[in-house]
């Protein structure tokens, strides 16, 4: 492969091939380590054994089933977390007094390791899906909240002056100015929240697991089936990437006006 060919490829394919090459090199390095290092399969399985385990988990339906459970918790947790974070964030952005009252609690809440309180949430909320959704929502809440506050506060004063001069109602200011103007920053928080939501669901499932990818992780560990642990971990990574991709697509869709500008 000569240099010109690489340059043409990079130009034509927007350098996507670099990602593929990086992935292949990573897999090759992983394979070589497992092949020549002497590390046992139960400590670091080879890519081939993980692939074989993935096919088995797909064919017996277990991976699809448990992924569906975790995904439903993630989606619900995301929706709840985003909804609360947006409403509270907007309130805090508009009211310094409210911010003074609530911010110590909000900041303190971020210092609490969610792993430590997850068992308590299970006791308080029961061991059904609710506790997992709440844990997920708690993790999603903060990044979305912060970006909502920053986004709303970043709306230029001139736009408010313009709307006021047009005698716009509060609702019109919200939907015509504040919402679109704060969207770019808001989506930044959403990207972080979407990827973190995966961790939230897993933390909940690790506390009282009987289904979901967290359960598969624990089962794999209990049975010393390390390839299964890797399959569950890679599925979680795929879920996080998928959610990140969806947010990016939404961002492109809703921020088309920004690209034109």
Binding site for another protein (CB under 8 A): 32, 36-38, 40-43, 119, 122-123, 126-127, 207-210, 215, 218-219, 221-226
* Residue 145 · residue 89 · CB < 8 Å: yes
DSSP track, 144-183: HHHHHHHHHHTS-HHHHHHHHHTT--HHHHIIIIIHHHHH
**Closer CB to another protein, residue 45 or residue 89?**
45
CA 103: distance to chain centroid? 24
- What's the token pair of residue 35? 């092949």
CB of 41 to another protein, least distance (A): 7
Cα distance between the two ends of the chain: 39
**Closer CB to another protein, residue 94 or residue 211?**
211
Q: Which of 177, 257, 225 is nearest to 41 (CA)?
A: 225
**Closer CB to another protein, residue 46 or residue 226?**
226
Distance CA 72, CA 34 (A): 35
**Closer CB to another protein, residue 56 or residue 191?**
56
CB of 213 to another protein, least distance (A): 14
CB of 32 to another protein, least distance (A): 8
- Enclosing H/E stretch for 66: helix 62-94
CB of 207 to another protein, least distance (A): 4
**Closer CB to another protein, residue 30 or residue 160?**
30
Helix (H, G, I), strand (E, B) or coil at 37: coil
CB of 125 to another protein, least distance (A): 10
* Residue 90 · residue 146 · CB < 8 Å: no
CB of 198 to another protein, least distance (A): 20
Phi, psi (rounded to 5 degrees) for 217: -60, -50
**Closer CB to another protein, residue 17 or residue 124?**
124
């Amino acid at each position: 492969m000569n240099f010109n060919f690489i340059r043409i490829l990079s130009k034509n394919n927007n350098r996507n091939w670099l990602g593929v090459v990086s992935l292949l090199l990573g897999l090759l390095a992983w394979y070589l380590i497992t092949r020549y290092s002497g590390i046992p399969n139960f400590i670091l399985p080879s890519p081939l054994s993980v692939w074989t385990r993935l096919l088995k988990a797909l064919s017996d339906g277990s991976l699809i089933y448990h992924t569906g459970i975790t995904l439903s918790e993630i989606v619900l947790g995301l929706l709840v977390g985003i909804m609360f974070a947006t409403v509270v964030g907007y309130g805090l952005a508009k009211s310094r007094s409210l911010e003074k009252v609530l911010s110590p609690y909000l900041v303190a809440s971020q210092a609490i390791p969610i792993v430590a309180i997850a068992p308590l949430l299970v006791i308080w909320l029961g061991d059904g899906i609710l506790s997992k959704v709440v844990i997920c929502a708690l993790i999603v809440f903060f990044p979305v909240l912060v970006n909502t506050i920053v986004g709303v506060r970043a709306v230029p004063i001139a736009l408010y002056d313009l709307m006021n001069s047009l005698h716009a109602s509060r609702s019109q200011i919200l939907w015509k100015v504040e919402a679109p103007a704060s969207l770019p920053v808001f989506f930044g928080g959403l990207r972080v929240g979407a990827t973190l939501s995966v961790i939230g669901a897993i933390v909940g499932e690790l506390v009282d697991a009987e289904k979901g990818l967290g359960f598969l992780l624990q089962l794999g560990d209990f049975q010393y089936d390390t390839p299964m642990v890797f399959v569950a971990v890679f599925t979680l990574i795929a879920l996080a990437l998928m959610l990140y991709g969806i947010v990016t697509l939404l961002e492109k869709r809703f921020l088309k006006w920004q690209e034109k500008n």
